[in-house]
Amino acid sequence: MLLIKAVLFDGYGTLFAGGMERLYGLCQQICDDHRLDLDGKGFLHEWDQHFFPMLRGDAFMTFRVANNRSLKATFAQLEIEADQEPYVDHFFELLGEVSLYDEVRSTIEKLNGFPHGVVSNADSDHLQAALDRNELHFDLVVSSESAQAYKPNPDIFLPALEKLGVSASDALYVGDSQEDDLEGAHRAGIKMAWVNRDGSVLKEGIPAPDYEIEDLSEVLGILGV
């Protein structure tokens, strides 16, 4: 029987709902403001071409800086003559206003006394704002900003493991992203519970999770609490 001494959760898409919908809405607003022949998802596709290489480059930059620089590059590519910063500022406000999936609060409350934390690709300010807004409390919170690393880089997990005093093999990570969470946990040697809310198929080349769950309530059974 696997012994799990601590559980760590991803933030957006795992605890927090509606983040992508808010991002699509912002992208649609940009399209409408500048009369682009794109919809929100199409604009986000263009933005992502600039954003993810910045996040995965050799030099660390915060989530806010990466969004500002990549959106500025996207505006230049699409010949939009506007300041990108107000849009990024609004996006970060939205990230602090997300709600919880239905089962999250009851699940976290039942972990009282069992070591648990959050490890999220995020800046510290908007991640903490989302936790505060939803009155969620964890033993620790590690952002990519505080760890100076983004998943799937395994280094992002090190501060959490150190603070909780557990080895990677004794921890469980719970997340929704195949590329970030499954790959990151695999690289770190942490057991993985993949939250697959919509019945997605595992992509080729992505390591299989130790557990596949439909929502966070199933974590309690895995932990035996």
> What are the pLDDT digits (tens) for 123-145?
999 999 999 999 999 999 999 99
So what's the pLDDT on residue 115?
96
Residues 34-89: tens digit of each pLDDT: 999 999 999 999 999 999 999 888 899 999 999 999 999 999 999 999 999 999 99
Structure tokens at 34: 């500048």
Say what the pLDDT of residue 2 is: 60
State the distance between the two ends of the chain, measured CA to CA, in whole angstroms: 15
Q: What is the pLDDT of residues 10-33, one digit of tens each?
A: 999 999 999 999 999 999 999 999
Beta bridge partners of 171: 6
Q: How far is CA 197 from the centre of its chain?
A: 15
* Structural tokens at position 170: 């004794």
Q: Are 182 and 199 in contact (CB under 8 A)?
A: no
Q: Which pTM does this prediction carry?
A: 0.94
pLDDT at 1 over 50: no
- Kindly state the average pLDDT of the residues 180-204: 97
User: Once rounded to an integer, what is the mean pLDDT over residues 205-212?
Assistant: 97
Task: Calculate the alpha carbon distances from 190 to 50, 81, 117, 148, 158 in Å.
Answer: 30, 46, 14, 19, 11
